[in-house]
Amino acid sequence: MRTTRHLTALLLAAALAPSPALAAEAPCYRGVNLSGGEYGERGGIYGTNYTYPSEDTISYFAEKGMTIIRLPFRWERLQPALGGRLDEDELKRIKDTIGLIRKHGMAVLLDPHNFGYYDKTQIGTAPATDAAFGDFWARLAVEFANQDGVLFGLMNEPHDIKATDWLDAANAAIRSIRAVGARNLILVPGTAWSGAGSWEKDVIGGANGTVMLGVRDPLDFYAYEVHQYLDADSSGTHPTCEGAGAAVAAINGVTAWLKQNHKRGFLGEFGASADKDCMSGLTEIYATMSDNSDVWLGWSYWAAGDWWPANEPFNVQPRKGPERPQMQLLAEVAKAGAGTCSAVKPAGK
């Protein structure tokens, strides 16, 4: 296996020149978040207040070598009443989008983009109880059970909830998914925004790196989803990357944790501007995951999407003019990857 230094040097040149020698290095899931379905309030009007990606956008990223799309949406729109049926119109929009993503040969990661809340009620607190969260996932899992290329991300960035309480909610959702016969790969975040940099720190109610080892999946077919940005406070809200070194160290730390505990990981959100320090940090993160594809299933960059603002410095949505350096690097690394992972565990295994 190449050293990280060697691979980093190769990737630094990736935005300018192809590197076919990387072909066997990258994790199998390599993609982007296509933002839009999570926009606005729960009562927003489709096409006015929120949107899902167009086929043009989807096909663009497929042509760039992406193998997965993380698809954010709002829990409240899909299930307007806790314990109630899924909204047929919203479910159809999600199904139609998944159909387009699959048509273009990519997997899709379903992402209820709710930060651990239903409206303003935190999961685990009535009426958004663990049982209600499990009910939601049972209903959603039935719709996509065992569909090739469909992964289940339990929740985007839970926060302000104790790690022990979040573990209970996550396990309730996993039980519900498996109870309806769905054998799809499940991605499990931690609390504290599921930050890679704080994974082994006791931020609230225990460290994710300790507490989340209590995940229980009867199929043992899950991975941990972490997020990591490169700005000074790891929030992904600044165009400069004073935190690039810390971000690289965080990914290295999670890599070591995954290996030590015989687990697998997925970097669900990361991103940066075209600033020199940002590009260097992105390159090192790609290199770390490529060097350790035995534990890293993949990554999805934040973000793109038809309505993603053109002036957003992290944006890689195709626009008129040249591609941004982040997109050039993203595409080069994506196209250098190996085959695809299985999103559904075969029966009997």
Say which residues have a Cβ less than 8 Å from residue 163's Cβ, sequence separation at least 6. Answer: 190, 191, 192, 203, 204, 205, 206, 207, 208, 210, 211, 212
Q: Which of 255, 251, 236, 245 is nearest to 314 (CA)?
A: 236
Maximum CA extent, the chain = 55
Active site residue 88: no
270-290 exposure pattern, b = at least 16 Cβ within 10 A, e = fewer = bbbbbbebbbbbbbbbbbbbb
Coil, helix or strand at residue 150: strand
Active site residue 312: no
Catalytic residue (choose from 157, 225, 284, 332): 157
Say which residues have a Cβ less than 8 Å from residue 176's Cβ, sequence separation at least 6. Answer: 134, 135, 137, 138, 141
Catalytic residue (choose from 90, 225, 269, 284): 269
State the catalytic residues.
157, 269
